[in-house]
Amino acid sequence: MTRVCFVSRVRPDRLDEYRARHAAVWPEMLEALRDTGWRDYSLYLAPDGLLVGHLETDDYAAAQEAMTRTAVNPRWQAEMAAFFVDDGNPDEGFQVLDEVFHLEDQLRAAGLPTTPSTARSPHADPDRAADDAAPRPTTTDPARLEDLA
């Protein structure tokens, strides 16, 4: 299994419409992604148009190539092209990033468990115990995105 992260850039004047289109992706496109090996696929959009994608797949090149053979992908890419800063098919313009850290891989390499122990860590701050139960904002939380900008 390979983890893939990529970036691209959405036109700042089209962010709301881009979000709306991705809130209701065509079922045929969802099935094509699933059937061609895209798993745990997420997109993140910053207020300035920076788009970050992350997925897991057995073979990214094979998954991309399989998508080019689907009937739906050319239609979807044609619809999406107007949203992106760069010309061409959006799925061909992704800049793939090198993974430099993965917690579970490093825990395994160090011979450590990848899941928390049931006992509190000696490094935990006892004053934060109440905070640990509170939900934390995610990067999809608009208020949190503003903090990250």
Q: Which residues are catalytic?
A: 22
Beta bridge partners of 118: none
Q: Are 52 and 5 in contact (CB under 8 A)?
A: yes
- The separation between the first and the last C-alpha atoms of the chain, rounded to the nearest angstrom, is 31
Starting at the edge strand found earlier in the chain, the sheet holding 50-57 runs 39-45, 50-57, 2-9, 95-97
Q: Tell me how crowded residue 83 is: count the other CB atoms within 10 A of its CB.
A: 20
Beta bridge partners of 4: 55
Residues in the chain: 149
